[in-house]
Amino acid sequence: MKWPAHGSNPAHLYESLQMKKPDVLIDFSVNVNPYGPPPSIKDNWSSWLSAVSDYPDPYGKMVTKQIASLNGVNEQQVVLGNGAAEVIQFLGQLWRGRRVVIVQPAFSEYEAACRVYGCEIDYVFTNKDHTLPINELTTKAQGATAVFVCTPNNPSGIAFSEREIIELLDSLASSGCCVVIDEAFYDFAGSVTVARFIKDYPNLLILRSLTKMYAIAGLRIGYLLADEALALQIARFRPHWNVNALALRAAEAVLADSSFVEWSREKITEERKRMLEFLEEEGFRFTRSVVNFYLLRDPLLEDQEPLFLFLLKQGIVLRHTYNYPGIEGKWLRAAIKTEKENNKLKEALLQWKKQN
């Protein structure tokens, strides 16, 4: 069958599998903040209504200024997108017909966007200990236009070290190959970022999303940080008004709310610790994630489809991994949810263990 390409669409998943959808579902396939948007969104929502009657600022100047200030770059180094996914489309357009390398497993949109624009795609797989194979990557990147690296990694939740990223940047500094570091989940991991190295490496690009930490995926806003000359090239692909007025208002509000990020990170870290301890006690394999999702597997199964289907029947929706090269079907991805929801997943996994 053709598995859905993304999480967060349980109805489509059950329909694809020709399974009856339970009346009560918990969607562990969506990896946004389980505690919902910050209070600043709810408190100001009605006051933003008037913004829908006029065109938004086509340049998103206020948000761009905030992002630049928070990251120590100038405003010309920021490119706003209708979610990070749109920025990835811009990169596909920029590198049309060229060769790109993707460190796998990784978010599927890099390959999807680049293939639309006729790029040749090469893979390099992470080491078994979830580190970067720098020598292989450097060799494969020779003659390539760009390398995509997702850290903290989606789907494993593991972050590559700063040392690894710098080693990769140094190895490609003279080659002209761009290095795209997708930091969509960096704020869940303590805001660990390599953005400060943009001034030293003009081939470094940083992808970010505001929809994950702030649980505003429906509003769609993300951005890119890069050397000014490169950012200006990429910004040429931005259509007018690509970020809507409500998304811009929301971004202004959440970027000013650092306390929400800290509170969310503490809560999620606590729940992640509980879940991983449970999985270890019950004999499941899992990745040592530093963010709001992780990979898990029953070590008695090579392909995790039986466990995936069992959980679906219980109304527990995890994320399949059939479209993640390198781990196809061997793992399932689960988000960190609230304590009550995580307990439901525990109960279902215990039922699985009893029956198997």
Q: What is the pLDDT of residues 94-111, one digit of tens each?
A: 999 999 999 999 999 999
**Whether residues 321 and 244 fall in one domain:** no
Look at residues 256, 277, 306 and tell me which one is the last residue of a structural domain: 256
User: For 256, phi and psi rounded to 5 degrees?
Assistant: -90, 5
Q: Is the pLDDT of residue 61 over 70?
A: yes
Residues β-bridged to residue 291: none
The residue type of 355 is Q
**Whether residues 170 and 88 fall in one domain:** yes
**Whether residues 209 and 280 fall in one domain:** no
Q: Is the pLDDT of residue 191 over 80?
A: no
**Whether residues 228 and 89 fall in one domain:** yes
Q: Is 264 part of a structural domain of the chain? A: yes
- Percentage of the chain exceeding pLDDT 90: 88
Predicted pLDDT at 5: 64
Residue range 151-178: mean pLDDT, rounded = 95
d(CA 123, CA 129): 18
Predicted pLDDT at 3: 67
Predicted pLDDT at 1: 56
Q: Is 2 part of a structural domain of the chain? A: no
Predicted pLDDT at 4: 65
Look at residues 237, 256, 275 and tell me which one is the last residue of a structural domain: 256
Question: The domain that contains 144 carries what CATH number?
Answer: 3.40.640.10
**Whether residues 318 and 243 fall in one domain:** no
Tokens 């991805």, residue located: 333
**Whether residues 85 and 185 fall in one domain:** yes
Phi-psi map region of 4: left, alpha, beta (phi>0 left; psi -120 to 50 alpha): beta
Task: Report residue 180 as tokens.
Answer: 């795209």
Task: List, in order, residues 6 or more apart from 93 with CB less than 8 Å away.
Answer: 117, 237
Neighbour-count burial for 38-56, b at 16+ CB within 10 Å, e otherwise: bebbeeeeeebeeeeeeeb
Please state the pTM of the whole predicted model.
0.94
Predicted pLDDT at 2: 65
Look at residues 200, 229, 256 and tell me which one is the last residue of a structural domain: 256
Range of the domain at 315: 10-30+259-355
Task: Report residue 45 as tokens.
Answer: 């929502």
Least confident window among 15-19, 259-263, 283-287, 335-339: 15-19
Domain count, the chain: 2
Closest CA to 291 of 154, 143, 169: 154
Instruction: For residue 3, give the 3-state DSSP assignment.
Output: coil
- Percentage of the chain exceeding pLDDT 70: 98
**Whether residues 44 and 156 fall in one domain:** yes
Task: Report residue 251 as tokens.
Answer: 């971004």
Predicted pLDDT at 326: 93
Q: Is 294 part of a structural domain of the chain? A: yes
**Whether residues 229 and 185 fall in one domain:** yes
